[in-house]
Structure 1
Amino acid sequence: MVKAMLKEKQIVKGKYEKQISEMCTSVDARVLPSPMIKYNETGKESQVAPVGGKWTMNDKKFNLEPVIPNTYTGKQLDEVLSEINRNAENNLELLLVILPDHDPETYGKIKTICETELGIVSQCFKPVKIMTLERSKKKLYLENVGLKINLKAGGRNSVLLDAISKRIPILTDKGEPTIIFGADVTHPSSREGSTPSIAAVVASMDWPEVTYYKGVVSTQGPGEEIITGLYTQYVEDNKIKPFGMIRELLKSYYRLNNQQKPKRIIFYRDGVCETQFANVLLHEMKAIKLACATLELGYQPKVTFVVVLKRHKTRLFPVHHNLPGESLNVMPGTVVDTKICHPCQFDFYLCSHPGEKGTSRPMHYHVLQDENHFTADELQNLANSLCYTHARGGTTSVSLVPPVSYADLAAHRARYYMKETPKSESGLSSAPQIAMLPKIHEKVMDTMFYC
């Protein structure tokens, strides 16, 4: 056991208002063990034990694919991309794009054309940015680009040793296929007016490794928080047919896992405030159940529904600092599930990342429904272990479980599609109609193109 400190801003209103103490509250905490990370067997080191939420790529390997160099100048962007694709006989696996400067508009056009029209996975980077970085940061930037290139080219950077050994409770230990979902909704800014909100859902496709997540996106009414596209229906030939994001991802899982359907579902939901818990659980849990039932009569996998809160004012600090220069933040893996948590509900605070700058903010996990009957230790260790598998994390654990982070990335990527879609095609000129996103190309949809 370790001791942690809580610092929380509180507002007291009413007749009996009193002055709040400026002293922090002392709570019990514990540090979860770091998981073992597995790399390619061809490297000198194929396994590594992270220390303080970090490790290095020294003597480790993951697979890369070759890239054919081409240079184009003086042509329109869509013309250049189409020509590159034709020269590769429409079979280009990965396109590296060197951007002259930081130009979000050009970046958005490249991603929209590649991912919705041509079916090309792309990776952009900026040499100008590299030249301005310090030597140590330059190396880190290039390493991160390499990690994303490997991922988009179909490789796997690293996996949890316990995952491939099937030793993670509930997820892999019983040998029953499990799928992990992440869901998020991004809303338009005040400048974007009545632009639709965009919902994104990702799901793991590679049990038991759970490192590869397919993503789908859809639009819904501006400011609408409940994801309406999880399960829907449409009429075709006078017949009602099921459709929706959950159904699409479950069908992909079935196709990619030797016709196996997941026996369990773990659903991480982002962007929900506490006042919305009941409403979101009611509608989205129902949508999940309906989507499962349309795949096979009687098919009802057990679901664990977890909301992850990022925007809160709770901070944790260690009581003792023994080493000079030691970070004032708590150790990675620090979890608190007593005293400051809800007296009746299933929730906990987890700080899974090493805080190098500023004050670490723990994630607040609320388990709204748990049909899989996780123990607190099992669910806390699962969340902590998943934070060591983020494709962008490199050799550092992250603060947020990857499925939620990936859903956020996918939703923001879809914003570029919306910006590049002409108003006449998207329906933006008609106020009552919700603008539709262009369909992601079939050659791209099964990749982690959004990373």
Structure 2
Amino acid sequence: MDEICDMYSLHFIYVAIAPELRSRERNRNIINELLRSHKKYLDGRRSPAYDGRKGMFTAGALPFTDREFVVKIANDPERGNQGEKEFKVTIKCAGAANLYMHSLKQFLAGTYPSQDRFSHKHLDIRILIVALNGGEDISATTFYKAQPVIDFALDYLNMNIRDAYSRFDQDGTRVSVVQYFNRQYSYSLKYINWPCLQAGSDSRPTYLPMEVCRIVKGQRYSRKLNECQVTRMLRLARETPEERENSILEIANENNYGNDYHAREFGIGVTNQLALVDARVLPAPMLKYHDSGQEKVCNPSIGQWNMNNKRMLNGGSINYWACLTFASCVRLAEVRTFCKELVRVCNSIGMQITGEPCVRIRQERQDHLDAAVRDIHRQSAEFLSQQGVIGQQLELLVIVLPDANATVFYGRIKRLCETELGVITQCCLARNVQNVGGRNTVLEDALHRRIPLLTDMPTMIFGADVTHPPAGEDSSPSIAAVVASMDWPEVSKYKCSVSSQSHREEIIADLFTEVKDSQNRLVYGGMIRELIESFRKANGSYKPGRIIFYRDGVSEGQFSQVLLSEMDAIRKACASIEEGYLPPVTFVVVQKRHHTRLFPEDHHARDQMDRSRNILPGTVVDTKICHPSEFDFYLCSHSGIQGTSHPTHYYVLFDENNFSADALQTLTYHLCYTYARCTRSVSIVPPVYYAHLAASRARHYLEEGSLPDHGSSSASAAGGSRRNDRGVPVKPLPEIKENVKQFMFYC
């Protein structure tokens, strides 16, 4: 834990480096050289703390408010540059604040009058106790290998080297790249038929031959890893909790933060011991299964259980199904055996499936995927028509994919079946098939209405998330997804609504919409209204009397903005349904991207650990490392499998339902046992999990070629007409078929 020493003044300095650089390391080198070579101008007693970008802090005033410096620094020889390069560094004093020890101590004790803010004339600083408990953790990520670009292209891109971009215009004269480098740099290219790299913009292209380019070290790879790379990454980064704790302590000792000159400058003392916090372990819920099974009630053990001797509470039924395989390595007879076993197992656990498919099981070539899926859908419709089944269609299509390239076909299948054909699909690689409709299990206390602030009145639980395109894609829209429980009081079946919005926009735009129709009348819509109306239909016209909204993907700096915008949308959506309808709302932010880790106090006390030697599922911490006056807590709701468990941080931004800490923590933990995909408690509350899955599924719809122009699947006209900050229309999502949306198709 950090100890605050005497510190009275904090100054924020704005830094601008020209020409601008992307590398934080390079920026730090420039500032370090500035501090060394211009020490007399910067007051040699100061040791500024620099963030590698635009911000610098000092514990005291500089002798000027605005000044420019020229800094010369050696070029990086690995980039093929020699000599020195000159940079212009502008330093401006942007603000200052006085920090008073007695106020700070009051704040940490939770007794400061203004609760959470120190206000100053020039600088408004929000001090969090989390920031003062200097968290240390170990992260792992991937980097590009430093090597010539030619080697990279051959080894990883499988490029077929051929002539490309060989000529361009120079001063109105058509010249080849070979001629240009010969004239301009007296350099004779060796590989004259190899393609060039386009390093400029589309309007002003710059062509560079591969042989003169290198991939330099230290560049992070931010795109999605394939399955083999993920497996290797996890294996390399995996550490038991005890190993991770020792690694953190070792780093703290090696870096000797207690004697760090920046820490001393700001009056901060750092100890090399982990903080000891009080925790408690919440009891696991009792789970209710169908009365026809041998085991009607299940008490999970350390966050897990199994389906032996149990039957699904409401297993659902499938009368019309078909199977299609694109795995040439699997014989048709093996697929038939798999389907028979699938039917047997599903029926044994309470999910009723008819024994034979509507049409014969077919094996098709992978390059005929779209045509084969459409054809089996047509054949099934003809079969049902011949059987005199009116108003019914294929309920499930099982598709067997090859192990290799499965992800290539997955998105195409989901988009085709869910937005065009209206068919639920289950893609499988081995013996893995999941339920369609119905519910595996529910909380027994929910059935008996024994959960406070949930079962006493119709309650609707929402989960919301926004996913963004990968780094490097600057035009793809972000995808917002909202799911909501439909089955009060069990709260285990969720319907979803998805929508596209401006690139990297975090606030959900389509929660509530209002547009004017042809008669100039207001028409209300949006994701919240759509889901509340679905809840009314599913619960005998009851509107939810209480809303609990779990929101993922929000950083601390966005709390106020997201809360104000999205709470306003929820309010307007409710009021648009019925005048005066304003159910109380609890708004909870769910955070996984943090570096807080919780370790057992004694790594040899088996009663404090699960099988992976992590803390027990249900462990909750709401003191010391949490905010001293606000409503937040860390909850480890799952049993670790490998490595070190990552607790989830829940931050209550708004609470009209007046939850006690114990009530909300227990509800959140118990919900983690209702995740439909597995018989384990999961690490984040399921509605947030489902929202993330729904948003990821919707991105497949965007990535499959051109899209039909019929708005977003949240039934909002705004989705198709919205423009991003550059005035470019946001690409809408295709409409998900209504019969598909009735199920948890995304799960």
Which TM-score applies when normalising by structure 2? 0.55
CA distance in 1, matches of 2:727, 2:364: 40
SS in structure 1 at match of 2:305: coil
Deviation at 1:191, TM superposition (A): 3.3
- The C-alpha deviation readout for 1:184-233, integer Å capped at 9, x for no partner, is 00011123221000000000000111110001100111010000110011
**Alignment-derived partner of residue 590 in structure 2:** 308
Instruction: Please tell me whether residue 81 in structure 1 is matched to residue 373 in structure 2.
Output: yes
**Alignment-derived partner of residue 715 in structure 2:** none
CA distance in 2, matches of 1:243, 1:396: 37
**Alignment-derived partner of residue 167 in structure 1:** 450
**Alignment-derived partner of residue 232 in structure 1:** 513
Cα contact 1:72–1:80 (8 A) shared by 2? no
Structure 1 moving runs of 4+ over 3 Å = 10-14, 323-327, 423-428
Of 280, 290, 299, 1:30 maps to 280
Code of the aligned partner of 2:627: H
CA distance in 2, matches of 1:190, 1:92: 39
Structure 1 residues 15 and 438: CA distance shift in structure 2, 3 A: same
Cα contact 2:411–2:700 (8 A) shared by 1? yes
SS in structure 1 at match of 2:577: coil
SS in structure 2 at match of 1:156: coil
Code of the aligned partner of 2:442: V
**Alignment-derived partner of residue 187 in structure 1:** 468
Instruction: Please tell me whether residue 435 in structure 1 is matched to residue 731 in structure 2.
Output: yes
Code of the aligned partner of 2:700: Y
Cα contact 1:363–1:399 (8 A) shared by 2? yes
Code of the aligned partner of 1:85: H
Deviation at 1:105, TM superposition (A): 2.2
Cα contact 2:709–2:734 (8 A) shared by 1? no
Instruction: Please tell me whether residue 222 in structure 1 is matched to residue 503 in structure 2.
Output: yes
Structure 1 residues 325 and 403: CA distance shift in structure 2, 3 A: closer
Gaps of 5+ in 1: 1-5, 128-141
SS in structure 1 at match of 2:353: coil
Deviation at 1:19, TM superposition (A): 5.2
Instruction: Please tell me whether residue 319 in structure 1 is matched to residue 601 in structure 2.
Output: yes
SS in structure 2 at match of 1:96: strand
**Alignment-derived partner of residue 481 in structure 2:** 200
Instruction: Please tell me whether residue 342 in structure 1 is matched to residue 634 in structure 2.
Output: no
CA distance in 2, matches of 1:115, 1:294: 30
Cα contact 2:707–2:733 (8 A) shared by 1? no
Deviates more, 1:261-270 or 1:97-106: 97-106
Deviation at 1:15, TM superposition (A): 2.7
SS in structure 1 at match of 2:508: coil
- The C-alpha deviation readout for 1:309-342, integer Å capped at 9, x for no partner, is 1000111111123349953311100000111110
- The C-alpha deviation readout for 1:328-374, integer Å capped at 9, x for no partner, is 31110000011111011100000010112111111000000000110
SS in structure 2 at match of 1:294: helix
Deviation at 1:86, TM superposition (A): 2.3
Written as runs of structure 1 = structure 2, the 5 A alignment for 1:38-437 is 38-62=288-312, 63-66=350-353, 68=357, 70-74=361-365, 76-89=368-381, 91-101=393-403, 102-127=405-430, 142=431, 145-146=432-433, 148=434, 150=435, 152=436, 154-172=437-455, 174=456, 176-237=457-518, 238-320=520-602, 321-323=604-606, 326-392=611-677, 394-422=678-706, 432-437=728-733
Cα contact 2:302–2:610 (8 A) shared by 1? no
Cα contact 2:285–2:299 (8 A) shared by 1? yes
Cα contact 1:317–1:328 (8 A) shared by 2? no
Cα contact 1:247–1:291 (8 A) shared by 2? yes
SS in structure 2 at match of 1:279: helix
Code of the aligned partner of 1:362: P
- The C-alpha deviation readout for 1:239-267, integer Å capped at 9, x for no partner, is 12111000000011111111110000000
Structure 1 residues 157 and 261: CA distance shift in structure 2, 3 A: same
SS in structure 2 at match of 1:88: helix
Deviation at 1:80, TM superposition (A): 1.8
Deviation at 1:39, TM superposition (A): 1.2
Deviates more, 1:432-441 or 1:77-86: 77-86
Looking at CA atoms only, which structure, 1 or 2, has the larger radius of gyration?
A: 2
SS in structure 1 at match of 2:740: coil
SS in structure 2 at match of 1:56: coil
Code of the aligned partner of 1:302: P
CA distance in 2, matches of 1:269, 1:421: 31
Deviation at 1:396, TM superposition (A): 1.1
Cα contact 2:514–2:525 (8 A) shared by 1? yes
Question: What is the count of residue pairs matched by the alignment?
Answer: 423
CA distance in 1, matches of 2:438, 2:738: 19
**Alignment-derived partner of residue 92 in structure 2:** none
Cα contact 1:421–1:438 (8 A) shared by 2? no
Cα contact 1:7–1:316 (8 A) shared by 2? no
Cα contact 1:200–1:217 (8 A) shared by 2? yes
Deviation at 1:423, TM superposition (A): 6.4
Deviation at 1:9, TM superposition (A): 1.8
Larger RCO, structure (CA 8 Å, separation 6 or more): 1
SS in structure 1 at match of 2:499: strand
CA distance in 2, matches of 1:155, 1:249: 18
CA distance in 1, matches of 2:701, 2:264: 49
Gaps of 5+ in 2: 1-132, 138-256, 313-349, 382-391, 711-719
Code of the aligned partner of 2:633: F
Structure 1 residues 302 and 449: CA distance shift in structure 2, 3 A: same
SS in structure 2 at match of 1:222: coil
Structure 1 residues 337 and 325: CA distance shift in structure 2, 3 A: closer
- The C-alpha deviation readout for 1:161-185, integer Å capped at 9, x for no partner, is 011111111011x2x1000000000
CA distance in 1, matches of 2:465, 2:267: 38
**Alignment-derived partner of residue 345 in structure 2:** none
Structure 1 residues 210 and 14: CA distance shift in structure 2, 3 A: farther
**Alignment-derived partner of residue 8 in structure 1:** 135
SS in structure 2 at match of 1:288: helix
Structure 1 residues 340 and 242: CA distance shift in structure 2, 3 A: same
SS in structure 2 at match of 1:117: helix
Deviation at 1:76, TM superposition (A): 2.6
CA distance in 1, matches of 2:577, 2:538: 16
**Alignment-derived partner of residue 138 in structure 1:** none
Structure 1 residues 201 and 424: CA distance shift in structure 2, 3 A: closer
Cα contact 2:462–2:482 (8 A) shared by 1? yes
Structure 1 residues 126 and 368: CA distance shift in structure 2, 3 A: same
CA distance in 1, matches of 2:623, 2:483: 31
Cα contact 1:7–1:24 (8 A) shared by 2? no
